[in-house]
Amino acid sequence: MAKNRTEVADIDRSLYDFSYGEEGFERLDAGLTPDIVTEISQRKNEPRWMLDLRLKSLEIYHRMPNPTWGPGIEGLDMDNIVTYVKPNTEQKNDWDSVPDDIKDTFERLGIPEAERSYLAGVGAQYDSELVYHNMQDTAAKMGIVYSGIEEALHEPKWEAIIREKFMTLIPPTDHKFAALHGAVWSGGSFVYVPKGVKLDFPLQSYFRLNAKGAGQFEHTLIVVEDDADLHFIEGCSAPKYNVANLHAGAVELFVGKRAHLRYSTIENWSKNMYNLNTKRARCEEEGEIEWISGSFGSHVGYLYPMSVLAGRKSRSNFTGITFAGTGQNLDTGCKVVLGAPDTTATVETKSISKGGGISTFRSSIVATPAAEGAAASVSCQSLMLDDISRSDTIPAMDIRAKNVDIGHEATIGRIGDDKIFYLMSRGISEEEARTMIVNGFANPVSKELPLEYAVEMNNLIKLEMEGAIG
Amino acid sequence: MKMPGMTIKHASAMPAPTWSWLKMNNVKIEIPDGLERNCQVEIDAGDALDNAASFEGSVASLQERMDAARAEAPADGRAMIDAATGADRGAEKLDVPALSAYEHRAVRSEIACDIASDFETGVGTDIRAYLNFLAGGTAVLAAEEDEDAEAAIRVTTRAGEASGASVDIVAAPRSTFSVTLSLDSSADAPSFMGSTMRVFADRGARVDITVYLTASDAVTCVEDSGFVLAEDARVTVRHVVLGGAFTATGLSADLRGDRSRIDVDTSYLASGAQQRDFNYVIRHRGRKTVSNMDANGVLTGISKKCLRGTIDLVHGAKGAEGNERETVLLASRGVDNKTIPNILCDEDDVAGNHGATIGHVRPEQLFYAACRGLSQEQTEALFLSAKLEDAALRAPDEAVRANVVRLGNQIIPHFEEEIA
């Protein structure tokens, strides 16, 4: 008799899978040349140092090799990727002024509603440019700055901070796609939270890539000063096309002494997307970074938020879930550098693979000689929902400090018959038992998300308790 | 004739690499310059020394059985097969995942199902070729069907010399084979020694291998092995690595037969500026196969260690279970410990578990020792001593025990008296 098997239904992408035309939009030529890079910089009227950084990054990009350890990116031909698409509008700060089709896009994604109900500020990027940015007065009165990064770049006060910090956590030499980002970045947010300021409501940026065959390269730079507190949410989506799209954003987070930053992301790109994103945080003494990360979409994903714990007793917590379905190869995880005494890190990840999808958890925990008394624990669990998928776990630990305490554990498997039997012996039906187990598997991540995001995630993971595979 | 120095790059490579900046994907082995080839290998195997048996022949016989079973298997329509056999069409064919290089290799190996082609040793082909050159030939040790056999292999080297052994072990169905391999040298100038071993454990055979590495601080040492296990075969391996300036230990096992099992127990010690490198690759291809890897070590001084452990649960290995655990005690400031315990899983009806604990002597242990008048340094030295004592007590014969004691006396004053 064939056994019933848990199946997770494919994600219903109808909510995200719609697009509008590009009438009135400006597209640069596809490919990567110094002329294209220079034109992007000139359109933004950037300071000279930024153009120099872009051109240097382009040189680095051309001389660096593709990664050989991760999912194949042969299907990504940079000669066919348009690196800059400007929508037919300038940045607005009220929804009514945003062009109808763009406004309709974000309304269908629930962004204005979220802004009204629980956010302290919203930024919305469409293709290569921000089209909407707004922050509540209460947050502004607290001295918080939340603006487009290009806008901030034209303010002398913020330009100095941006120049000091821009691409220092993620230098263009870090990897090939960091260099690409340095060359063609466009859009993104700048957040500055002054010393001692604690914002009770989150800020959110939403990135929508509408243009076929294009890339999105937004840069997010957040500075949370000493004793301050911020929750920042990032969402992303795109319609599905039959050609490759590329997302190579960068997120640089600076967390001051005793400050706290929670950075929540749901990456829900379409299945033609190559998501080669880079995120990194640096924490000073007793500072804390919390990463909440959900990776659902993309054809190929490389995503490993990194915490550099530079200050004594600084902390990093990473909670992530990855769902790899049909045609997807998602290589996700995190990196932590324990770089000071008594630093601590926890990593808890879950991955689900089904329908021939491939999920890889990849991590590194590096304890430098300065990290005396540091502690880290890594836990990764992978659930295989059928026998045509794949799930790999590649966790690295490099420990060079004394008096450290590093623990790692990982499990891979399917839902155990013993668990089903246990629950059924207590009067629960097999279907309910399977549902309970899979919900319980994802719950540690979803409970960390804001309610609206948890609902979205639960919608993404919709269980279907039928089938008789194997 | 003195041989020029040599660097073997990308040795002990793990199947699925990670970020190269971690410098953990493989290791570089430096063979010192100016060594003279001088094979110093003793094999005490009695009737087991048998050149009529053949590793290749045994593999071919297993291949025939596998091919017959495969002929009845249904066609495999997985998207990963498409991805590995056709050109990567990227986003133009979104139901096909974009495989990584190692995923390509894994799927192609699965399609070919060729035991001989899949055969690998833990340190790799380049070092195996070098060791075969040093050995000048391969000794074949065989256990007859339903018989018991024993063998002791002793490899040594002298200052300025390079010595190597090459051994095939063939355990016929339901036989039992117990092998001890000792790699020992007290050379006081740069030298090299090593062994490369192929092991075939046929249906229901049991093979126990104990390896002791007790070389002095001037010796570069490599211990390389590859295993093929047929149905119901069982292998246990005990690696005890206590000495050597640089050591590379590599083991690769192909659990091809259903219900085959391997248990690998590793105990290591590194002191001073010594470097230890381990690469374990266990590939579960048969159904209900089991592997357990357990490593336990102490690092002191400014020593370095890297352990790569890969459990590969290949598609079709239904009911397989792989477990991996490492416990490391970092007993000094300045040590560098690298651990990468991988699980590769292309089958859902399996269980893969791994864990690692890396730490120092715990405060309650230090307190307990302090109450008995021991300083932190003395307490940490106790762990070192315990590791050596355990190795001496569990040594397979007097000669190996004497090697451990000699090494212990160099590390801990009056070690011999302590364990007397």
Q: What one-character-per-residue DSSP string does B304-355 give? A: EEEEEEEEEE-TT-TT-EEEEEEEEEE-STT-EEEEEEEEEE--SS-EEEEE
How far is Cα A36 from Cα A28, in angstroms, rounded to an integer?
7
Task: For A130-167, give one letter per residue: b (16+ CB within 10 A) or e.
Answer: bbbbbbbeebeebebbbbbbbebbeeeebbebbeebbb
User: What contacts B390, CB < 8 A, 6 or more positions away?
Assistant: B267
How far is Cα B381 from Cα B385, in angstroms, rounded to an integer?
6
Q: Which of residues 325-364 of A touch B (CB under 8 A)?
A: 326-329, 331, 356-358, 362, 364
**Structural contact between residues B283 and B257, judged by C-beta atoms closer than 8 angstroms:** no
Q: Is the pLDDT reported for residue A251 higher than 90?
A: yes
* pLDDT per position as a tens digit, A390-435: 999 999 999 998 888 898 888 887 877 788 889 999 999 877 777 7
Minimum-distance CB partner of B91 among A244, A385, A402: A244
Mean pLDDT on A49-78: 95
| CB < 8 Å to B308, chain A | none
| CB < 8 Å to B360, chain A | 402-405
Pairing outcome for strands A375-384 and A344-353: parallel
Residues B134 and B245 in one domain: yes
* pLDDT per position as a tens digit, B231-288: 999 999 999 999 999 999 999 999 999 999 999 999 999 999 999 999 999 999 999 9
Report residue A99 as tokens: 């062009």
Least-confidence region, from A11-15, A250-254, A340-344, B156-160: A11-15
End-of-domain residue from the set B341, B360, B379: B360
Residues B101 and B78 in one domain: yes
Residues B126 and B250 in one domain: yes
| CB < 8 Å to A438, chain B | none
Cβ distance A390 to B335 less than 8 Å, yes or no, reads no
Mean pLDDT on A298-324: 95
- B21 occurs within a structural domain: no
Q: Is the pLDDT reported for residue A238 higher than 60?
A: yes
| CB < 8 Å to B330, chain A | 399, 401-402, 404
Residues B210 and B156 in one domain: yes
| CB < 8 Å to B329, chain A | none
Domain count, chain B: 2
Mean pLDDT on A359-377: 95
- B134 occurs within a structural domain: yes
In A84-188, beta strands by DSSP E: 85-86, 121-126, 129-135, 145-148
Nearest chain B residue to A399 by CA distance is B337
- B180 occurs within a structural domain: yes
| CB < 8 Å to B313, chain A | 412
Chain B contact for A405, CB < 8 A?
yes
Question: Which residue in B285, B281, B353, B282 sits closest to B318, CA to CA?
Answer: B285
Cβ distance B356 to A408 less than 8 Å, yes or no, reads yes
Residues B78 and B206 in one domain: no
Chain B contact for A92, CB < 8 A?
no
Q: Measured between CA atoms, how close is A465 to chain B, in angstroms?
A: 17
Cβ distance B330 to A404 less than 8 Å, yes or no, reads yes
For the question of whether the overall pTM of this predicted structure is more than 0.90, the answer is yes
* N-term to C-term CA, chain A: 9
- B154 occurs within a structural domain: yes
What does residue B91 show for φ and ψ, rounded to 5 degrees? -70, -10
**B62 compared with B380, residue with greater pLDDT:** B62
Q: What's the pLDDT at A470?
A: 25
* pLDDT per position as a tens digit, B340-394: 999 999 998 898 888 888 887 777 777 888 898 988 778 877 888 889 999 999 9
- B366 occurs within a structural domain: no
Q: Which of residues 70-89 of A touch B (CB under 8 A)?
A: 70-77
| CB < 8 Å to A402, chain B | 330, 332-335, 360
- B217 occurs within a structural domain: yes
Task: Among A5, A64, A69, pick the best mutation site for testing chain B contact (most B Cβ within 10 A).
Answer: A69
How far is Cα B100 from Cα A116, in angstroms, rounded to an integer?
44
Cβ distance B79 to A327 less than 8 Å, yes or no, reads yes
| CB < 8 Å to A244, chain B | 90-91
**Structural contact between residues A202 and A120, judged by C-beta atoms closer than 8 angstroms:** yes
* ipTM of the complex as predicted: 0.93
| Chain Cα centroid distance, residue A43 | 27
Per-residue confidence at A468, pLDDT binned at 50, 70, 90?
A: very low
Q: Measured between CA atoms, how close is A9 to chain B, in angstroms?
A: 15
| CB < 8 Å to B103, chain A | 71, 329, 358, 390
Minimum-distance CB partner of B98 among A69, A75, A412: A75
Q: What's the pLDDT at A2?
A: 40
CA distance readout (Å), A175 to A247, A277, B259: 15, 11, 44
| CB < 8 Å to A400, chain B | 334-337
Residues B93 and B129 in one domain: no
Q: What's the pLDDT at A95?
A: 75
Q: What's the pLDDT at A451?
A: 63
- B338 occurs within a structural domain: yes
Least-confidence region, from A87-96, A117-126, A146-155, A458-467: A458-467
Cβ distance B338 to A399 less than 8 Å, yes or no, reads yes
| Chain Cα centroid distance, residue B110 | 23
| CB < 8 Å to A397, chain B | 337-340, 356, 358
Chain B contact for A64, CB < 8 A?
no
For B161-210, the three-class secondary structure string (H helix, E strand, C coil) is EEEEEEEEEEECCCCEEEEEEEEEECCCCCEEEEEEEEEEECCCCEEEEE
Nearest chain A residue to B344 by CA distance is A392
Per the structure, the complete domain to which residue B165 belongs is given by 39-54+119-360
End-of-domain residue from the set B92, B112, B132: B112
Q: Measured between CA atoms, how close is B287 to chain A, in angstroms?
A: 14
| CB < 8 Å to A405, chain B | 358-360
Minimum-distance CB partner of A328 among B16, B97, B345: B97
Q: What's the pLDDT at A134?
A: 81
Share of chain B above pLDDT 70, in %: 98
Cβ distance B348 to A387 less than 8 Å, yes or no, reads yes
How far is Cα A103 from Cα A100, in angstroms, rounded to an integer?
5
Q: Measured between CA atoms, how close is B9 to chain A, in angstroms?
A: 17
| CB < 8 Å to A274, chain B | 91
Residues B97 and B125 in one domain: no
Mean pLDDT on B218-222: 97
Chain B contact for A166, CB < 8 A?
no
**What three-state secondary structure class fits B11?**
strand
Report residue A207 as tokens: 């990135």
Residues B192 and B308 in one domain: yes
Chain B contact for A397, CB < 8 A?
yes
- B376 occurs within a structural domain: no
**B304 compared with A7, residue with greater pLDDT:** B304
Q: Structural domain boundaries of chain A?
A: 17-303
Q: Tell me, what amino acid is at B5?
A: G
Report residue B180 as tokens: 């001890």
Q: What's the pLDDT at A11?
A: 54
Mean pLDDT on B197-207: 98
Cβ distance B97 to A413 less than 8 Å, yes or no, reads no
**Mean pLDDT rounded to a whole number for chain B:** 92
Q: What's the pLDDT at B92?
A: 54
Cβ distance A327 to B342 less than 8 Å, yes or no, reads no
How far is Cα B207 from Cα B209, in angstroms, rounded to an integer?
6
Chain B contact for A403, CB < 8 A?
yes
**What three-state secondary structure class fits A267?**
strand
Cβ distance A409 to B354 less than 8 Å, yes or no, reads yes
Per-residue confidence at A178, pLDDT binned at 50, 70, 90?
A: very high
Half-sphere exposure of B208 (CA within 13 A, CB side): 6
How far is Cα A441 from Cα A265, in angstroms, rounded to an integer?
19
Cβ distance B349 to A385 less than 8 Å, yes or no, reads no
Per-residue confidence at A455, pLDDT binned at 50, 70, 90?
A: low
| CB < 8 Å to A391, chain B | 345
Cβ distance B79 to A245 less than 8 Å, yes or no, reads no
Chain B contact for A300, CB < 8 A?
yes
Report residue B222 as tokens: 């490599």
Chain B contact for A386, CB < 8 A?
yes
Mean pLDDT on A459-467: 44
Cβ distance A411 to B353 less than 8 Å, yes or no, reads yes
CB pairs under 8 A between A and B: 215
Per-residue confidence at A8, pLDDT binned at 50, 70, 90?
A: low
Residues B101 and B196 in one domain: no
Minimum-distance CB partner of B355 among A76, A243, A408: A408
Per-residue confidence at A1, pLDDT binned at 50, 70, 90?
A: very low
Count of CB atoms situated within 10 Å of the CB of B419: 16
Count of CB atoms situated within 10 Å of the CB of B66: 18
Chain B contact for A35, CB < 8 A?
no
Nearest chain A residue to B362 by CA distance is A403
Q: What's the pLDDT at A447?
A: 75
Minimum-distance CB partner of A396 among B24, B104, B315: B24
| CB < 8 Å to A70, chain B | 100
| CB < 8 Å to A173, chain B | none
Q: Measured between CA atoms, how close is A425 to chain B, in angstroms?
A: 22
